[in-house]
Each structure stands twice: as structure tokens, then as C-alpha cells.
Structure 1
Amino acid sequence: MTHDVTRLTELGTALLERAGQASSRRATTAFRAAEGGQLTQVVVALLAGAELVDHDNPGEAFLQVITGRTELVADEDRWEVAAGEQVAVPQRRHRLTALEDSVALLTLIKLPR
């Protein structure tokens, strides 16, 4: 938990550099508003072609693209989300692919199962 200002553009640039050295071609860092709280934000950097493979949505989430262009896919539904845009993450299995080098902010609240 931190109350410092986060410069998302600078953080995204650093994460893209880390992604360039990772076999997964991605890098992330997470923030919590309160220790033990349910609200989490994750900054995700993906190099072009990298993806977060199919996974379930653990709660409610928004994806906001800071730089680049991505594609969010859930079943037959597809959303292209570019810099300055956001989309609600569907409540089903989905994946995220970077159509170009991208940095996104994922805001989520985990719900009890």
C-alpha cells in the first residue's frame, strides 16, 4: 500500500523494458488501496503479440489502456481497446493480447466465491 503519486507513463516505460527481458514478453506491478482490501490495480506491460492467456474473472474489473492497442476476447466477443480507452472485463473466461507494445491499467475487486 502506498499513498505516493504513481506516474503511470514512466512506470509503463520501465515495465515495457522489463517485458523485453522476460520470456513471457510481459511485466506487471500491483497496487492496493488498503492493506487487506479488495481493491487492486495492476499495471500490465505487454510487448506486441504477448498475451494474458485465458483466465477467469475473479470479480469485477475494468481494463484501461494507457499506451498501445490491445484486444480483449471472451468466447465469441472481441473488443479492441486502444490508448485512452477502457472496457469492463466480462464475467467469464477471457484473454488479453497486445496488438502493439502496450501498457494497461487493470482495476479489480475480488468478490467472495
Structure 2
Amino acid sequence: MESESLTTLGEELLASARSANAGRAARTILGGHTHRLRQTLIALLAGRAMGEHDSPGEATIQVLRGSVRLTSTNHDWSGSEGSLGIIPPERHELEAKEDSLVLLTVVVDL
């Protein structure tokens, strides 16, 4: 069984986000063309956002560190460390209230 330290990877991604113009960094830790399940660890610095984008389909977001706010036309969700949210099936935006790490889990149609 393969193993990955989300803590270590998260620290690396936060360091990358601090030097990135967009204030974010991400790495897919599970997924690819042969997997229906895709998991991506995302680092997002305080005050930065992933602008409005389409829903990836059936998906959740788990806050591993910090706090974030996910907004759409019909939904407004705030999550902090330990929170798990269901991503709405509509365009939405994710904003970090403080330096944050989130784990995005998506089911992909093959």
C-alpha cells in the first residue's frame, strides 16, 4: 500500500503558494486516466481565491488547515480545520480566509 504524508506535502505546497503569483499551489495525489476517484491537495493563501469555476461533478472538500468559504448562487459554506463540505453542482468560488490546505475529492466519469 502506498502512503503519502499530507502534512509534509501540505507544507511544501504552502511554500510553493507563497512564491506563486496566484497565491496557490496544488498536487493530485490520487487520480489519472485509469482512476474514477481523484484527490487533489490544494494550498491557498489568505485572501486569495479560486475564481468562479464549474463544478467538477460529484465532489467534496475537506479543510485540513485554515478556513475557507465556498460560494455560489445558491450556496454559501464556510469550513475550518476538520470540516467536510459537499461541492454544489453549479459554478462556485473558493476563497481562503487564512492560509489553508484543502483536500478535493472528485468522482470522475471514465
Q: So what's the TM-score if we normalise by structure 2?
A: 0.92
- Partner of 2:94 in structure 1? 96
Distance 1:18 1:78 in 2: 28
Q: Structure 1: 5+ residue runs without aligned partners? A: none
Instruction: Report the equivalent of 1:61.
Output: 59
Instruction: Quote how far apart the aligned CAs of 1:77 are.
Output: 2.2
- Number of equivalenced pairs: 110
Which sits farther off after the overlay, 4-13 or 62-71?
4-13
- Aligned in 2, Cα 1:111/1:74: closer, same or farther, shift over 3 Å? farther
CA positional deviation for 1:61:
0.4
Counterpart of 1:80? 78
Task: Tell me which residue corresponds to 1:14.
Answer: 12
CA root-mean-square deviation: 1.6
Which consecutive residues of structure 2, in runs of 5 or more, have no partner in the other structure?
A: none
2:50 corresponds to 1:52:
yes
- SS state at 2:58 partner: strand
Percent identical residues: 36
Which TM-score applies when normalising by structure 1? 0.90
The equivalent residue for 1:27 is 25
Runs of 4 or more above 2 Å deviation? 31-35
Alpha carbons 2:72, 2:93 under 8 Å: kept: yes
Q: Is the 8 A contact 2:75 2:88 kept in 1?
A: no
